[in-house]
Structure 1
Amino acid sequence: MFALGLRYLNGWAMAAADGAGKQRAEWPPHPDRVFMALAAAWFETGRAEEERAVLLWLERLPPPAIRAAEATFRSGTGGGGPVVGYVPVNDTELGRKTPDTHDPGRLKEAGLGLLPEYRSRQPRAFPVAIPADPDVYLSWDGGVPEPHRAPLVSLCRKVISVGHSASLVQMWLEDSPPAADWVPVEGLGAHRLRVSGTGRLDDLERRCNRDQVIAWGGLVARLAEASKSKEKKMLKEQLSDRFPNGRPVSLRPVPGMWQAYGRPEQPADERVPGQSLFDPHLLVLALDGQRPSLHATLKLTEALRGATLAACRAPGAAIPEWLSGHAADGRATALPHVALLPPPFVDHDHADGRVMGLALALPRGLDPAEAAAILEPWLRDGHGLPASLSLFDGRWLECRAELETRARPPQKSLWAEAWTRPSRRWASVTPVVLDRHCGGKDRWEKAAEVVKDACERIGLPRPLDVLLHPDSLIRGVPRAGEFPPLARKSDGGPCTTPMPCSCSSGRCAARC
């Protein structure tokens, strides 16, 4: 294994994740940005052939794993955005005009107009990420071929910044990198990062067009210094012949390929005999602004389902069965389909039952590429950043949500493992709705068997004991009777009365 190590010498990283918007800082650094820093060092320091060979070898490697600590983001007064500075424009209209050399005042005015203190100011944002640890590692399996080792070390030493020119770094080759925090994953991931690929160096070279730009500038400078008309004529002809379309263009690099990144898989616990048919890696959405109470669970999940179906409904294409919960003929599907969860602030001394976010539990075994193709365009914007999603039920509820990308959000309620880790005993937070009416003197025993059947139906071990009670065993949860009743779709009448439940099993089972 080897890695490219980066140390942010200022303790912060300045790079815009949203392109020209410059409102959001990039973190963790995208592998393609690091590759472009290496390529820039090569472009500007002689273009040694052995270093070019190293870059061509690097661009063909698979996406690297990344070690990067969590970061905070610097914001301006009042928060909500990066610090805004007012900087001089690159040039002024006055300075670009040829002054009248016979008018000393005009000549002085033109000269002063080129000085920064006399130029107009324009607002500019400087998005900054401040990591808890300034060291970052991009690591690959395998080793560095011996012919590439010395040139790679040389290239790393030439890199002085990654992202903005003020984002100073020290870069080195590391043979024993620490364990990665983020690894490439198939399908959906917490992060969507730009990576390089075969042909990336040639593409950067074409877009930079450095040789042509330098050659054009040299001819223009010689033409300005020429004093003889014959020499000027010759230089103009050379400019016209070599550059018939005028000044050559140097374009900004375009984003490379995209790769999903997620947390490394933890070793499976062999003691767990059964697993739910749902994938434990939940897609967690954090709610923005005022959080509703658990009473609004049905409103929230209905709004989330409606937003998901509306965003993923391609013209002329059917919504997949795993997402809609309906077969092609409109009937309820018999296959596993997505479940919607309302992670609340509960099980704490000061818990008040507010819903902190929403989560999508995807069926285990779902093709990651299919899930990503459907959900990624809805969850992310064109820069790969989490999109701000509007949730509206058409009447009472309106809020915004965003994909949670932090490994450890401040609210433990938004940790996926808080709701999916194996446990011998578990209790539901929201009331459980039974799939049938249970009457008679033994209705409580029948209801307990319904819950046991439901656990087996989703792949969990059958609980040994089930307790049904109008009060949840979790702190901060309202009584079951305070939740609005669930209406039947057929006639709008009340469904089976919901109630919290708790179960225990001699074997490990996943929590509700």
Structure 2
Amino acid sequence: MFAISVEFLFGTYRGDPDGTANMGRQQPGEWPPAPSRLFSALVAADGTRDACHVTDGRELCWFERLPAPRVHADARVNHQPLHTRYVVKHASGQGIGAAGRAKWAQKEYVARGAAPVRPGTRVSVRDPRVVYRWEVAPPPAEILASLRRRAARVGYLGAADSPVRLRVGEEPAGRLPAAWEPDENGDIVLGVPQPGDVGVLDRMHDQWRQRGASVARLQFPALHRQTRYRSPGHRGSERSGGEVVAWLRLAEPVAGRRIGVLTGLFKAAVLSLYGRLHGDVPAVLHGHGFDASGYEIARFLGLPDVGHEEATGRVQGLALWLPATADAEVRGKAQVAAFGLRRLVGRGLDVGVVALAGEGISPSPRGASLWPEAWVGPSRRWATAVPAIHERRKSLDIDELGRWCEHAGLPRPVGFREARGPFVVGGVDLAPAEVIRPGRPGLPYSHVEVWFEKVVVGPVVLGSGRQRGFGLCTPLDETIA
């Protein structure tokens, strides 16, 4: 047994796991604090390599190899969204300009503008203690001593206004709060360190020293590893299998009617770059060469703006989904290829592509469709944002829809309704020529709303056009946080 206890000295915690706080859209706050936050705090406490003062860094290599821990934390928390505030922007050499003078001018500071600061959401806890427990053998004495020295130097977790006190030991004292358990069918995701993270951080630091501010966090996707956890009292869920390895955003929105063209260009670009970077493209990406039925292949998804009053249906982002049968090496290489895309050009489209990050995205409801939560759920009720192409030429009933769900790796539904037009605001409404590919037999297509007995974790994609992103669904009932 090995455990680290964290006590929040102010009884509050503030963190921004995915950049949504910078957009003013973080709701609710992050809870419990991800294990990756604890790892980052330990790294910052005494640095790595020559920057170490009271340790030699070996304890970090031991720590990053630990499995996902059990997280004990009080589930009774209050989420307090903090108001956006404006601070003086100390820009040297230039004024704020005529265009921005009225909106951004600081009355007390002549010729200086204001910059918005969006602090996100503060979580207030009843029990200020969080305990991370690993069911592993305790570390050697020298490793344990080094971890304790690092823990003594940690001042805060998450934001700087969340001061903490850490204790490192083999067994936490006292009665523990409820536990968040690692579970592939869990209802939340938390960042977890993985082997090699210390090396990635060192490379990031070296690159920053050489190139300065041009080094961006999104250039090192290997640091981003999320693990599903089951929250206390969660009744369980069904997953669609597989995972999204890359979320991307478009420099400019594309009309929803071009979604088939866009996902086709996305697929071609990923396959081309994968081949140039890594050699032979695996069958799971291109979909050819399978000898039997029942296999799953990659899905190239377009993410339209749907589900809110201002929804336009324009495609704002892209996602690459790979089935669970794809091994870790293929997933990693495909992610590198997807993140390496810069433009998609062809068939009348020319649009820039960047890896999804918090900067540059408007903090309005129209940015919501870019974030994974808009497509992952979990939820019991889903509706197509992009029409689903039928698998056979027959009327759709509950048995036929159950067949679709089985093919997509989903449980059988308990109810549904079907319509020619979308059920959600902004849902993409397409003409036959925008769905049926030239030279292919034309199958019926429609929008559907589906109910499952248990909550289902997405992305949920139904029908025969799954690889091209047709049949992509959005959760309808309130997301379980």
The interval holding the TM-score normalised by the smaller chain is 0.5 to 0.7
Letter in 1 for 2:267: R
CA spacing shift, 1:259–1:308, aligned 2, 3 Å: closer
- In 2, Cα distance between the equivalents of 1:267 and 1:304? 33
Is 2:345–2:351's contact at 8 Å kept on the other side of the alignment?
A: no
Structure 1 residues 85-109: Cα deviation after superposition (integer angstroms, max 9, x where no partner): 79xxxxxxxxxxxxxxxxxxxxxxx
- In 1, Cα distance between the equivalents of 2:449 and 2:41? 46
- In 2, Cα distance between the equivalents of 1:503 and 1:341? 19
- In 2, Cα distance between the equivalents of 1:57 and 1:146? 11
Q: Tell me what 1:431 maps to.
A: 387
Of 295, 309, 318, the residue aligned with 1:349 is 309
Question: Taking structure 1 as the reference length, what is the TM-score of the superposition?
Answer: 0.52
1:500 correspondence with 2:452: no
Percent same amino acid among aligned pairs?
Answer: 21
Deviation at 1:306, TM superposition (A): 0.9
Is 2:252–2:316's contact at 8 Å kept on the other side of the alignment?
A: no
Deviation at 1:417, TM superposition (A): 4.2
CA spacing shift, 1:148–1:308, aligned 2, 3 Å: closer
CA spacing shift, 1:85–1:148, aligned 2, 3 Å: farther
Q: Tell me what 1:462 maps to.
A: 412
Matches within 5 A, 1:211-226: none
Of 388, 395, 398, the residue aligned with 1:444 is 395
Deviation at 1:156, TM superposition (A): 7.1
Q: Name whichever structure is richer in strand by fraction.
A: 2
Q: Tell me what 1:306 maps to.
A: 268
Is 1:444–1:468's contact at 8 Å kept on the other side of the alignment?
A: no
Letter in 2 for 1:397: L
Deviation at 1:324, TM superposition (A): 1.0
Matches within 5 A, 1:52-451: 52=55, 55-62=57-64, 141=134, 173-175=166-168, 181-184=190-193, 194-196=197-199, 260-267=223-230, 272=237, 275-276=239-240, 278-279=241-242, 281-314=243-276, 317-327=279-289, 335-372=295-332, 374-380=333-339, 387=340, 389-404=341-356, 411-436=367-392, 438=393, 444=395, 450-451=400-401
- In 1, Cα distance between the equivalents of 2:300 and 2:356? 15
Letter in 2 for 1:299: V
- In 2, Cα distance between the equivalents of 1:5 and 1:376? 37
Structure 1 residues 105-163: Cα deviation after superposition (integer angstroms, max 9, x where no partner): xxxxxxxxxxxxxxxxxxxxxxx998878xxx997847777767777666777899xxx
- In 2, Cα distance between the equivalents of 1:316 and 1:152? 39
Of 475, 488, 503, the residue aligned with 2:425 is 475
1:495 partner SS:
coil
Deviation at 1:401, TM superposition (A): 2.5
Structure 1 residues 144-197: Cα deviation after superposition (integer angstroms, max 9, x where no partner): 77767777666777899xxxxxx9x999754489999521359xxxxxx84159
- In 2, Cα distance between the equivalents of 1:450 and 1:349? 32
Deviation at 1:434, TM superposition (A): 1.7
Structure 2: gaps spanning 5 or more residues:
10-35, 72-80, 82-87, 94-116, 123-129, 181-188, 212-219, 461-472, 474-481
Letter in 2 for 1:473: F
- In 2, Cα distance between the equivalents of 1:258 and 1:504? 35
Is 1:31–1:138's contact at 8 Å kept on the other side of the alignment?
A: no
CA spacing shift, 1:355–1:332, aligned 2, 3 Å: farther
Which structure has the larger Rg over C-alpha atoms? Answer: 1
Q: Tell me what 1:34 maps to.
A: 44
1:401 partner SS:
strand
Letter in 1 for 2:353: A
Is 2:419–2:448's contact at 8 Å kept on the other side of the alignment?
A: yes
Question: Taking structure 2 as the reference length, what is the TM-score of the superposition?
Answer: 0.55
Q: Tell me what 1:239 maps to.
A: none
Deviation at 1:327, TM superposition (A): 1.1
- In 2, Cα distance between the equivalents of 1:158 and 1:369? 37
Deviation at 1:340, TM superposition (A): 2.0
2:403 partner SS:
helix
CA spacing shift, 1:58–1:505, aligned 2, 3 Å: closer
- In 1, Cα distance between the equivalents of 2:146 and 2:414? 64
Deviation at 1:316, TM superposition (A): 8.8
Is 1:466–1:502's contact at 8 Å kept on the other side of the alignment?
A: yes
Q: Tell me what 1:484 maps to.
A: 434
Structure 1: gaps spanning 5 or more residues:
8-26, 44-50, 71-76, 87-127, 161-166, 187-192, 208-250, 381-386
